[in-house]
Structure 1
Amino acid sequence: MNKKSRPSFRSPASFVTFRLAKLQASLNAQATGLLKAKAGISLVEWRLIQTLRMQETASMTELAGLVQMDKGQFSRKIKAMVEKGLLRTATDKKDQRVQHLKLTAAAEQLSENMMPTMETRQDLLLAEISEADLATFYSVVDKLEKASKVRDIP
């Protein structure tokens, strides 16, 4: 699409960022409701558990980089998850400043119990989207992510 055929940016709904933020808020509210009602955890806790499931173990720095969270919020959430019995921490043997995180059996069980619900949710979200549309969506998101890294905007 060339610049001349693009829509005019006269209303918030014509901005990609507005539409994405609105969609993200709606999706987050839906997921948060499911997770609170069925597992008693937050969406951030779910995301951290799933990210750690894929990593098995990770340092706090590695996990923070993967989930792209504010450091203060991340640190508070990790502390709360340790207190809830969802995470274990261990100090690195070579570098005492490094903390390694590992899921507890309770977190693993919680993940296993919630996965069917979250997979059903994913199926619901994608029910009316073709494989071709989904591939296009992922391609567009990749391009938007790349463009979002540009800092020299005249």
Structure 2
Amino acid sequence: MRDEINMVSTHIKLINELIEKKANQKLKIYGITVSQIRVVVVLKAAKNETCSMKELEKSLKLSQQNIVGLVKRLEEKKVLYSFPDKEDKRIKHVKLTDSGNQLCDTIAFELKKMDEWILEALTEEEKENFSSLLKKIYSHVMGDSEYSSQILKE
């Protein structure tokens, strides 16, 4: 059974790496990476298209260092800008620019096409089942901290 579990996690990892590689190739013409577009998508969904750096960390489950690097590169590309909180200068907020907003809309279409391509091998019923199973596994893995800490000890 342990080998089967390793196979599942290995397949998930390999599929993720392949999808990310293909997505990065597609996004290259826009001068942006998958990691960077994830920041843009979170901001686009946020109220007033604005988040604190801490909110980005939590949303994307990335370290402060990674978020700082991503935001810096996106600021250089004029996709977003950062500014201090009015009341607490230690807090830094990030907001999409108009060009960042347009970029997100354009890339959303590309990513939707990529999702369709990924799933085209499945029937409609399989797509629904697959989506449901992915959500179930994600919930289970996120909620089972005892198992996660046990695995990390091994």
Look up the match of 1:101: 94
Residues matched between the structures, number:
145
| Map 1:69-80 → 2, pairs under 5 A | 69-80=62-73
Equivalent position SS for 2:88:
coil
1:20 equivalent in alignment to 2:12: yes
Tell me what 1:89 maps to: 82
Amino acid at match of 2:73: A
Tell me how far apart the structure 2 counterparts of residues 59 and 83 of structure 1 sit (CA, whole Å): 18
Counterpart CA distance in 1 for 2:106 and 2:140 is 38
Match of 2:32 among 23, 36, 41: 41
Please give the alpha-carbon distance, in whole angstroms, between the structure 2 residues aligned to 1:103 and 1:29. Answer: 25
Identify which range, 128-137 or 100-109, moves more after superposition: 128-137
The equivalent residue for 2:124 is 131
Match of 2:22 among 18, 22, 30: 30
TM, length-normalised to structure 2: 0.82
3-state secondary structure, aligned to 1:88: strand
Q: Shift in Å at residue 50 of structure 1? A: 1.2
Percent of aligned pairs with the same residue? 23
Q: Map of 1:135-154 to 2, 5 A cutoff?
A: 135-148=128-141, 149-152=144-147, 153=150
Q: Find the aligned partners of 2:138 and 2:113 in 1 and give their Cα distance.
A: 27
Q: Which has the larger radius of gyration?
A: 1
d(CA) in 2 for partners of 1:105, 1:116: 17
Unaligned runs of 5+ in 1: 1-6
Cα pair distance change 1:87/1:9, threshold 3 Å: same
Distance 1:131 1:57 in 2: 36
Structure number having the greater helix percentage: 2
Unmatched runs of 5 consecutive residues or more in structure 2: none
Normalized against structure 1, the TM-score is what? 0.82
Alignment correspondent of 1:122? 115
Q: Which amino acid aligns with 2:7?
A: F
What is the CA–CA distance in structure 1 between the aligned matches of 2:116 and 2:3, rounded to whole Å? Answer: 33
Q: Deviation of residue 104 (structure 1)?
A: 0.8
Q: Post-superposition, which runs of at least 4 consecutive aligned residues in structure 1 deviate over 6 A?
A: none
